[in-house]
Amino acid sequence: MCYLHPVLDTSGSGTPGDVIVYSDSDPVCKLEDAPILNDADVATWHRSLTSLKGDVTCKTDFMHVGDDTPIVRCLATGQWETSYSCKQRMWRNEISRDYKFLLPDTPSAGWSACFIGVPSDETQFAIHFWDSSGNIVLQVNPRFDHGGLRKVTFLSYMLQGGWRNYEILADPDPTFPFAKGQQFNLTATATGSRSLELYVDGNVYAANVTLRLDINTITNIEMVVDVRMSFMDLWCG
């Protein structure tokens, strides 16, 4: 059994203070040893004569993944038990290109990913949605002037190393919403297990994009070619 040292905070403010959980004779759990990682905080500590438990909240830019209530608590054995998993969902400022960002959880219908960026090249840029087997489930590839094509967006996929096209959005596209040096706000929203819609600056840009692989196979997202991303939320919906 665990006992709390009598000098604990009873104000109800949740401030940890110098609380130590004791066994029959020896100190067991100290708050300073609680396994709280850099991606989380304890919002409130719950104390009684025999237990110590903290409600865990993920820090800004992170989200809790899993069905368990996020907590940390002291066991009678003198060990801390954790039941939380905080995964990063947001990136800010200058976001690395040619790097595969890991989704915090498995996407399904209703999932959205949001991007804010500025094209820095006059030819093209692309966003890749990868699965764990090295396939690109979807490539969103706006082209300003590349390969004889102007103001057109390729929606493609790569399966077992081979590129295939879903569709090409008009050449030239009178609604082409991208321009070098101008910020865009792009949202990709899964409307079904194999369907997706693209919104640019709040307007529908590509509706009912049919995928060849399931949405729930997407594990990573990558920015390629010349685009400066200032914000990315891989779980904005």
Please give the domain boundaries of the chain with CATH numbers for all domains: 3-87 (no CATH), 90-233 (2.60.120.200)
Parallel, antiparallel or unpaired: strands 40-47 and 195-200: unpaired
Q: Write the pLDDT tens digit of every residue in 138-183.
A: 999 998 887 777 888 999 999 999 998 767 776 566 788 998 889 9
pLDDT at residue 171 in the model: 59
pLDDT at residue 72 in the model: 94
Structure confidence at residue 222 as a pLDDT band (50, 70, 90): very high
Tell whether the model's pLDDT for residue 98 goes beyond 50: yes
Give backbone dihedrals phi and psi of 229, rounded to 5 degrees, phi first: -90, 130
DSSP of 56-71:
EEEPTTEEE-SSS--E
Residue 20 CA to residue 2 CA, distance in Å, equals 10
Q: How far apart are the first and last CA of the chain?
A: 44
pLDDT at residue 6 in the model: 36
pTM over 0.85: no
Mean pLDDT of 198-213: 93
Residue 170 CA to residue 230 CA, distance in Å, equals 28
Q: Write the pLDDT tens digit of every residue in 62-87.
A: 999 999 999 999 988 888 999 999 99
Strand partners, 157: 164
pLDDT at residue 40 in the model: 96
More reliable by pLDDT, 153 or 120: 153
